Amino acid sequence: MESKKEPEKKEEEEEYHEIITDPNEIKLLEEFKHSLETVTDKSDSEVIDPSAVLDNDILIHFLRAKKLNVQKATRMILNYFHWKRKINLDDLYINFKLEHKNEIQLIFPHCFHKYAKDGSPIYIQIMGKLNPDEVFKIDTPQNICIYSALISERMEREYFKMCAKIKKRYVHGVFNIVDFRDIRTTMLINKKLLTYLKESFGILQDCYPECLSGCYILNAGFAFRAFFSAVSLFLDAKTKDKVRVYGENYREHLLEKIDSDCLPSFFGGTCQCPNKGGCLFSNAGPWQTEEDKKDDNLPEEIINGRIELNNYMMSGIKVNTVKEEKKEKEKLEEKEEKVEKKEKVEEKENVEKKEIEVKNTGNEESKPENV
């Protein structure tokens, strides 16, 4: 007898939302909604996205970004809606593809890779290989900017929610790791790079407020300080607070925020994503598609480029690990030496004590102890 198929159980969609408990925020959120519903300017009212207006999770971040000033938050979100319409974001979201992504990946490696302990998706950027002139030869600055805006939109629409389900908590932030190893000084004064960074930070701050849970900059050398002071001019105080700048010894700081199995081995974690040529290309995380898991037919130069890049990344961590290991070994030896010294001192003291005891009791022999 054929068993009747059980009706497919619909998995209950769990959703996690920002918990707003502050009575003042709750009150101002209502005022914010009212302010959007009663917009009188025709060009403004035409662009309003009704689904966003009903979504407290979106509204609260615009409101907080403007320090709970309803009027300023209204202007901010209206500008976002105008920008969305201007670039036709909803259409791009479905149809835009960066044509030469594989080539760009090799000179500007960047990827999402799993998530931090708090659930924030991790976004990695390797700047040391970057040459903006080459990137913009492959694709137009405009396309690169659209591509980077779409990354933010994708996080907001999909990735935060996917990570929230895994961590069973509300997630609204990306954890950025930006590696500046081997960056050429000429890159740090490259106008195209500064313009690109200014534009992408601008989009992130103006359209995706409070979307950064942390930004760890690695291998920041002396030249980087000047560069960073130029870049930080574009950053608001809240964003700046999230940025941490480290030299070569970043591993333990990263591991405070990220579990070892979510951190690529080239940064000192244990993840290697052996398929698809390593962590930089695996798209590992709850967003990984079946297509991502398949081996695709890539041209030889791309495959070789990936191998070369992985070797380069691993060579960095080897240097760090050797240094760290040496330091740890020295620390251990120092500790052992101290213990040895202490033991010797104690031994000496015991011998002296016994000698005194023997003296005090004359020539009396101590009785052997029964076992």
Query: Could you list the residues that contact Zn ion (CB under 5 A)?
Result: 271, 273, 279, 284
Nearer to Zn ion, 188 or 284 (CB): 284
Cβ 17 to Zn ion shortest distance, Å: 30
Q: How far is CA 10 from CA 13, 148, 171, in A?
A: 8, 35, 24
Output the six-digit token pair for 163: 């990570």
Cβ atoms of residues 221 and 194 within 8 Å: no
Beta pairing class for 121-126 and 110-115: antiparallel
Cβ 291 to Zn ion shortest distance, Å: 17
Nearer to Zn ion, 149 or 313 (CB): 313
Cβ 284 to Zn ion shortest distance, Å: 5
Cβ 274 to Zn ion shortest distance, Å: 9
Nearer to Zn ion, 204 or 254 (CB): 254
Nearer to Zn ion, 303 or 356 (CB): 303
Residue 206's Cβ-side half-sphere holds a number of Cα atoms within 13 Å equal to 17
DSSP 158: I
Nearer to Zn ion, 274 or 368 (CB): 274
Q: For 44-171, list the strands marked E by DSSP.
A: 110-115, 121-126
Q: How far apart are CA 208 and CA 210, in angstroms?
A: 7
Q: How far apart are CA 250 and CA 219, in angstroms?
A: 8
Cβ 299 to Zn ion shortest distance, Å: 23
Cβ 263 to Zn ion shortest distance, Å: 8
Q: Which residue has the tokens 């500064």?
A: 194
Nearer to Zn ion, 177 or 203 (CB): 177
Output the six-digit token pair for 318: 């080897």
